[in-house]
Chain A
Amino acid sequence: MIGAKVAPVKGAPIKEAPVVEVKGLNISFRTASGVIQVVQDVSFSIDKGECLAVVGESGCGKSVSALATIGLLVKEQSIVTGSVLFRGEELLGKPESYMRKIRGGGISMIFQEPLSALNPVTTIGEQIAEVLVAHGRAGWREANKKAIEFLELVEIAQAPQRVKQYPHQLSGGMRQRAMIAMALAGEPELIIADEPTTALDVTIQAQVLELLRRTTKERGTALLLITHDLGIVAETADRIAVMYAGQIVEEGPAKEVLRAPAGPYARDLIASIPSYARRGKGLTTIQGTVPSPANFPTGCRFHPRCRFAVEACAASMPELTTHGTDRSVRCFRADEIAGGAK
């Protein structure tokens, strides 16, 4: 299955190896009612300084894939197969002691809700400094000084005072900035941001996102941005992977995918973004609901909700195939749809 898939080829002739390369990732959970597969055959790679946005409705498996990449799924409850290559090294199956060095130092993570993701009874400064100490980057004294520098880096005013404060004393936007500082502190090569702006006010979402993108770009850090909000992707991401029901259904450069989505799901998803340009025409919605992992439909998992579905869609599952030069899509009728079929 993995062999059948054509990896996206970059334009540059001499290319550095990607920072992270996930191949054929399958994730299942052990539940009371048996083993349930939630992620199937997910592959992606991110280069140095690049930002990949994984987009999809809630429950499509994007957060789970991210947690599996950093090895944070509870081992007793989950089965992860496939391959996660980080700097060319396989992470799956590595012992906890090895993963501990990777986490924070090689890959770090930003969570959705900063208030609960930050320790409520420890100062911001200490939570940043402990990353530096844990990875041997500095002793406590020096780490505490560096914590101030990192807070300044994420544009928090009065950083020397802020390091001594607790999360509840900061505003929502500042908390998420502090989370970003924490993620940057270990000088990682990959940052996974799981819905980093969902819990924030709309007015500061853009600021925080811009900050995240700029700091990562400056440092050449790869960024895996997980979001259900297509609106924020256009400005931020270099590439997009659209997920549906545990699978990647479309992948390609952000601008191209947004301008001309190839598969029907991405098409509907993009059409459902409310925009001023389409005012007066009513909002577009996708009919039906996301199927639960316990009963994914046979064939193409999107076919019950798809406007373009034909009999073949229910019979067998389409593969993720190349589409154009730099894109791939999982749909039998991608070419027809692109050609203007209804």
Chain B
Amino acid sequence: MLKFALRRIGASLLILLATTVFIYALLLAAPGGPEQKYANNPRFTPQQQQAYVKALGLDKPVLVQYCRWLGACRRDADGIEALIGPAGLPSILPSFLSGVTSGIVHGDFGYSYENGNSVSERISGALLPTLILAGLSAALWLSLAVILGVITALRNGGLFDNAFSVFTYVAAAFPTFILGFALISIFSVGLGLTPVSGMTDGRLSPAFGSDAYWSYFSADPGVAINDLARHLILPVATLVTISVAGDARYVRQSVMESMAMEHVRTARSKGLSSLRINRRHILRTGLIPFATNIGLAFPFLVSGALITETIFSWPGVGRLTLIAIGNLDYPLLMGILSISAAAVAIGNLISDLLYAVLDPRVRL
């Protein structure tokens, strides 16, 4: 088991490294760097532009740039020397050993082109709203998917099953942003029940995540949580509706397949109670595929729901990604893409390990 896990972790790291190289190359090939921002301004001289490029290290060979971004090379040295930190050990090692603090392996994601803020601070600031929205939605839709999928499979062909399969079919075809608009039109604009967008009510509370917000929060948590909950209703409803459809169909399908398996007939021939047949013999085998898929929802918790966050102006990672793309803010984009690729890798890893734990047939 341990050997299997280690081998999988090693493979994931390799793919992850390849992915960052790929993204880096993609972004370098794309037009528009920080020096281009004022390129049309006559007061921004070519000399200034040159100096700017040099200061950012964009004049160095691509490999060196990537190496510096990764943290395997020091920024203050060139050539082979850059690979060795001031403490005499390889730069790639943790800061307390190598003495190098730049590069993502040392937790330094660089600085946003847009406003010079630290990339890691911008991302971590957006992470909490994303976790609240995506985490709550994922918890809801995964449990709903299991409950609805199991009920419809065990009572297949019934009225509820048929009604639900029509619902899942339509919901699966519904584009997320149109569902979001429809919900806003009906519940916010039409009925006035929920806020249109945002995470908090701007008239009452400071911006979410700021120090002022937390002091406002601790002053009266009840009011703050109530406000947050009201703002969560529509985005959560959007995400859950869209996502539960496909997952419930998946659960239903695999439970139905499990019901048709021969060992279920054996269980019936043994005179077991239907509760035990359902729980132990149908669901035990029927839910393994879905349980292992839960790991695949993990990237979603980090990279966020771009579409939903955008429509509802939710200050999460998804919306931050959109801002980064809009501004061609490469350091920020690079940071977000690397983190979400890491999340995909971790999610896949969780899936594989979960599968190995849940299904005794998987040989390690």
Q: Which residues of A are interface residues toward B (Cβ below 8 A)?
A: 70, 72, 99-105, 108-109, 111, 113, 116-122, 130-131, 134-135, 166, 168, 182, 186
How many pairs of A and B residues are in contact by the CB < 8 Å rule? 80
Q: A103–B271 contact, CB under 8 A?
A: yes
Nearest first, the 4 A-B pairs at minimum CB distance are A104-B271, A103-B271, A104-B270, A109-B269
Q: Which of B336-364 contact A (CB under 8 A)?
A: 358-361
Neighbour of A116 across the interface among B261, B269, B280, B361, CB < 8 A: B261
Contact assessment for A102 and B268 in the assembled complex, using a CB-CB cutoff below 8 Å: no
Please state if A119 and B270 are interface contacts (CB–CB under 8 Å): no
CB closest chain-A residue, reference B360: A166
Which of A72, A113, A118, A121 has the largest number of chain B CB atoms within 10 A? A121
Complex contact B271–A100 (CB within 8 A): yes
Question: How far is it, in angstroms, between the C-alpha of A60 and the C-alpha of B261 when the chains are bound?
Answer: 23
B7 on the A face (CB < 8 A): no
Q: CB distance B285 to A130 under 8 Å? A: no
Question: B261's closest neighbor in chain A, by CB?
Answer: A116
What is the bound-complex CA distance between A101 and B268, given in angstroms?
A: 11
In the complex, A70→B267 CA distance in Å?
A: 13
CB distance from A64 to the nearest CB of B (A): 13
> What is the CB-to-nearest-CB distance from B141 to chain A, in angstroms, rounded to a whole number?
25
0/1 interface trace, chain B 248-285, chain A, CB 8 Å (1 if under) = 00000000000001110111111111001000110011
C-alpha spacing A37/B358, complex, angstroms:
44
Q: Nearest-CB distance from A137 to chain B (Å)?
A: 11
Task: Show 28 A/B contacts (Cβ-Cβ < 8 Å), sorted by A.
Answer: A70-B269, A72-B268, A99-B271, A100-B271, A100-B272, A103-B268, A103-B271, A104-B270, A104-B271, A104-B272, A108-B270, A116-B263, A117-B265, A117-B266, A119-B263, A120-B359, A121-B284, A121-B285, A121-B359, A121-B360, A130-B270, A131-B270, A134-B270, A134-B271, A134-B273, A134-B276, A182-B266, A186-B270
CB neighbours (8 Å) of B266 from chain A are 109, 111, 117-119, 182
Q: Given A121-B288, A122-B280: A116 and B271 within 8 A (CB)? A: no
Residues of A within 8 A of B270 (CB): 103-104, 108, 130-131, 134, 182, 186
Contact A105 B265 (CB under 8 A): no
> How extensive is the interface on chain B, given as a class?
20 to 34
Summarize B's interface: helix, strand, loop or mixed. Answer: helix
CB distance from A229 to the nearest CB of B (A): 20
CB-defined contacts of A102 to chain B, threshold 8 Å:
271
A186 and B265 contact, Cβ closer than 8 Å, known pairs A121-B360, A168-B360 = no
B147-177 contact mask (Cβ, 8 Å, vs A): 1 or 0: 0000000000000000000000000000000
Q: Is the CB of B272 within 8 A of A121?
A: no
In the bound complex, CA of A26 to CA of B312 (Å): 65
In the complex where A121-B360, A122-B284, A168-B361 touch, is A131 in contact with B271 (Cβ < 8 A)? yes
A337 to B266, CA, bound (A): 43
- B131-159 interface code vs A (CB 8 A; 1 in, 0 out): 00000000000000000000000000000
**A106: nearest residue on chain B (CB-CB)?**
B271
Question: Nearest A residue to B285 by beta-carbon distance?
Answer: A121
Chain A residues with Cβ under 8 A from B281's Cβ?
A: 119, 122
A111 touches B285 (CB 8 A): no
Nearest chain A residue, comparing its CB with the CB of B270: A104
Chain A: minimal CB distance from B142 (Å): 21
User: Considering the chains assembled together, what is the distance between the CA atoms of A29 and B361 in angstroms?
Assistant: 36
**B271:A113 contact, CB within 8 angstroms:** no
- Counting chain A CB atoms within 10 Å of each CB, the highest count among B265, B266, B281, B359 belongs to B266
Contact of A72 among B265, B272, B276 (CB under 8 A): B265
Is the beta-carbon distance between A108 and B269 smaller than 8 angstroms?
Answer: yes
Given A116-B263, A118-B263, A121-B285, check contact A104 B269 (CB 8 Å): yes
The answer to whether A119 and B271 have CB atoms under 8 Å apart is no
Chain A contacts of B285 at CB under 8 A? Answer: 119-121
* B262 with A117: CB separation less than 8 A: yes
Report the minimum CB–CB distance from B280 to chain A (whole Å): 7
The 8 Å CB contact of A103, one of B261, B269, B359, is B269
Write out the residue numbers on chain A whose beta carbons fall within 8 Å of the beta carbon of B269: 70, 72, 103-104, 108-109, 111
Closest to A96 in B: B274
Q: How far is the CB of A120 from chain B (nearest CB, A)?
A: 6
Contacts of B276 in A (CB 8 A): 130, 134
Q: Which partner residue on chain B sits nearest A131 by CB separation?
A: B270
CB-nearest residue of chain A to B263? A119
CA distance A72 to B269 in the complex (A): 7
With A117-B262, A121-B284 known, 4 other A-B pairs at CB within 8 A are A100-B272, A108-B270, A121-B285, A122-B280
Q: In the assembled complex, how far is the CB of residue A151 from the closest CB belonging to chain B, in whole angstroms?
A: 16
Contacts of A131 in B (CB 8 A): 270-272
In angstroms, Cα B288 to Cα A119, docked, is 13
Are A186 and B271 within 8 A (Cβ)? Answer: yes
Chain A residue numbers with a CB within 8 Å of B265 are: 72, 111, 117
Q: Which of A99, A103, A116, A130 touches B262 (beta carbons < 8 Å)?
A: A116
Residues of A within 8 A of B358 (CB): 121
CB distance from B155 to the nearest CB of A (A): 13
A122-B271 Cα distance, complex, nearest whole Å:
17
- Kindly provide the distance from the CB of A27 to the nearest chain B CB, expressed in whole angstroms: 17
Given the complex of chains A and B, what is the CA–CA distance between A58 and B263 in angstroms?
Answer: 22
Instruction: Name the B residues within 8 Å of A117 (CB-CB).
Output: 262-263, 265-266
Q: How far is the CA of A104 from the CA of B358 in the complex (A)?
A: 28
Whether the pair A130, B360 counts as a contact (CB closer than 8 A) is no
A-side contacts of B272, CB under 8 Å: 100, 104, 130-131, 134
Residue from B268, B284, B359 within 8 A of A119 (CB atoms): B284
Assembly CA distance A143 to B353 (angstroms): 32
Considering the chains assembled together, what is the distance between the CA atoms of A53 and B1 in angstroms? 48
Question: Mask for B271-307, Cβ within 8 A of A = 1, else 0?
Answer: 1110010001100110010000000000000000000
Distance A100 CA – B280 CA, assembled complex (angstroms): 17
CA distance A119 to B360 in the complex (A): 11
Known: A119-B281, A121-B360, A168-B361. Contact between A111 and B271, CB under 8 A? no
Q: How distant is the Cα of A130 from the Cα of B277 in the complex, in angstroms?
A: 11
How far does the alpha carbon of A101 sit from the alpha carbon of B267 in the complex, in Å?
13
What are the residues of chain B within 8 A of A166 when measuring CB–CB?
A: 360-361
Would you call B361 and A120 a contact (CB within 8 A)? yes
Minimum distance in angstroms from A67 CB to a CB of chain B? 9
CA distance A215 to B285 in the complex (A): 32
- The answer to whether B271 and A121 touch across the interface, beta carbons within 8 angstroms, is no
